[in-house]
């Protein structure tokens, strides 16, 4: 595959960098903005971005793509089991992160932070090895994996061009921005790779102004939405997973060329129920908690509902968010499904 010229990046301005470094303690250097849309990433993108941009996808790959906290992990487990003949034995004994690696997580492992993790786990060689592995660029790790590969990424389509054109299967999951913002806030608190120490109101300001990683949120969704007619892309909504999980399972199965009995689908629906999912040690980042990368008291799999944003948004923030959403949707026919939670 020919090497493509990656988009240019620029270092985030001094004032914004200081504001972010004050509150996101996991990053030690700063951030860069990539391309014309100003995609925001930790400074390690400057070292690794070209490798990600030119990552060589295979036609046999299966990708789950999303903006963070849009139902990615839930979708990964669903997709992996559908694609692998409902192999619950493996799913229940092998970490999802091993079955379905996260392409660009290495960007969030600043060298200074990795040293801290290694020191924290100095009495446990196995945990130290995991810390080292997480700091390796995903394009290096995945290059040595046999097919078929299952890959998770939060990159927008414009930053993984070889994936879009490879003939591989892609499932993109989207979620309404108010619930995304709350869940993204909680994750940035929980993961020391982000280490957010501010309040929600400040986090919302960063999110809305495209100053959280993988932003801008709307451009991310619109790029996927504009590609939805690609025969190799299945676009789904988190709200659909909640409202009719069985239907989504059947759509994914059809997309991947699989067919299952009602009993098999029933078992998968039960496996993916939020109560079972929250307790599932193969999907809930327990291994990262054990290494001190994620705070032990945090919940990676949280409530699994729409409308949880109401617990965090003041009336003023809600009005601001609704105006932002309405303005952002004006130039697109993208709409989120209404649910029993009546988002809007």
Residue 150: C-alpha distances to residues 10, 100, 136, 168, 341 (Å): 31, 5, 17, 10, 32
How many C-beta atoms lie closer than 10 Å to residue 321's C-beta? 20
Q: Is residue 74 part of a domain?
A: yes
Q: Is residue 87 part of a domain?
A: yes
How far apart (Å, rounded) are the C-alpha atoms in residues 114 and 96? 22
pLDDT band at 322 (very low <50, low <70, confident <90, very high): very high
Residue 344 has pLDDT above 80, yes or no: no
How far apart (Å, rounded) are the C-alpha atoms in residues 280 and 143? 29
Q: E-strand spans in 279-329?
A: none
pLDDT for 306-321, tens place per residue? 567 888 899 999 999 9
Q: Is residue 75 part of a domain?
A: yes
Helix (H) or strand (E) holding 218: helix 217-226
Q: In whole numbers, what is the pLDDT of the chain averaged over residues?
A: 93
Return the bridge partners of 169, or none.
62
pLDDT band at 341 (very low <50, low <70, confident <90, very high): very low
The number of distinct structural domains making up the chain is 1
If you average pLDDT over residues 175-181, what whole number do you get?
95
Q: Is residue 289 part of a domain?
A: yes
Q: How many CA atoms lie within 13 A of 43 on its CB side?
A: 15
CATH number for position 77: 3.40.50.300
Residue 288 has pLDDT above 60, yes or no: yes
Note down the domain range covering 161: 56-328
Share of the chain above pLDDT 90, in %: 88
Q: Is residue 9 part of a domain?
A: no
pTM for this predicted structure? 0.94
Contact assessment for residue 101 and residue 187, using Cβ atoms and an 8 Å cutoff: no
* pLDDT at residue number 342: 40
Q: Is residue 16 part of a domain?
A: no
* pLDDT at residue number 300: 52
pLDDT for 73-116, tens place per residue? 999 999 999 999 999 999 999 999 999 999 999 999 999 999 99
* pLDDT at residue number 281: 92
Q: What does the block give as tokens for 3?
A: 């090497």
* pLDDT at residue number 284: 84
Q: Any idea what DSSP says for residue 70?
A: S
Q: Is residue 131 part of a domain?
A: yes
Q: Is residue 30 part of a domain?
A: no
* pLDDT at residue number 2: 60
How far apart (Å, rounded) are the C-alpha atoms in residues 132 and 197? 25
């Amino acid at each position: 595959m020919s090497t493509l010229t990656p988009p240019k990046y620029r270092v985030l301005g001094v004032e914004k960098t200081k504001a972010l470094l004050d509150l996101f303690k996991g990053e030690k250097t700063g951030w860069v903005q990539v391309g014309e849309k100003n995609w925001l990433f930790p400074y390690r993108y400057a070292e690794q971005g070209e490798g990600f941009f030119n990552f060589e996808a295979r036609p046999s790959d299966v990708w789950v793509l999303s903006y963070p906290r849009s139902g990615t992990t839930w979708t990964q487990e669903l997709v992996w089991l559908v694609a692998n003949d409902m192999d619950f034995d493996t799913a229940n004994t092998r970490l999802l992160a091993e079955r379905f690696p996260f392409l660009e997580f290495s960007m969030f492992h600043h060298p200074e932070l990795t040293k801290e993790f290694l020191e924290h786990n100095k009495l446990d060689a196995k945990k130290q090895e995991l810390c080292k592995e997480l700091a390796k660029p995903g394009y290096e790790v995945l290059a040595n994996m046999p097919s078929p590969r299952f890959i998770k990424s939060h990159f927008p389509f414009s930053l993984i061009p070889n994936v879009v054109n490879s003939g591989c299967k892609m499932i993109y999951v989207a979620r309404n921005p108010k619930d995304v913002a709350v869940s993204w806030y909680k994750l940035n608190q929980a993961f020391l790779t982000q280490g957010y120490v501010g309040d929600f109101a400040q986090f919302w300001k960063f999110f809305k102004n495209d100053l959280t990683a993988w932003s801008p949120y709307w451009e991310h969704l619109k790029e996927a939405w504009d590609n939805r007619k690609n025969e190799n892309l299945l676009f789904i909504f988190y709200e659909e997973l909640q409202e009719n999980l069985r239907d989504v399972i059947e759509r994914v199965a059809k997309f991947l060329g699989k067919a299952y009995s009602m009993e098999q689908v029933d078992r998968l629906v039960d496996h993916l129920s939020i109560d079972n999912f929250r307790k599932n040690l193969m999907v809930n980042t327990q291994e990262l908690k054990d290494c001190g990368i994620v705070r032990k008291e945090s919940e990676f799999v949280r409530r699994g509902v729409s409308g949880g944003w109401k617990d965090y948004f003041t009336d003023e923030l809600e009005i601001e968010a609704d105006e932002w959403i309405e303005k952002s949707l004006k130039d697109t026919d993208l709409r989120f499904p209404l649910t029993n939670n009546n988002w809007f």
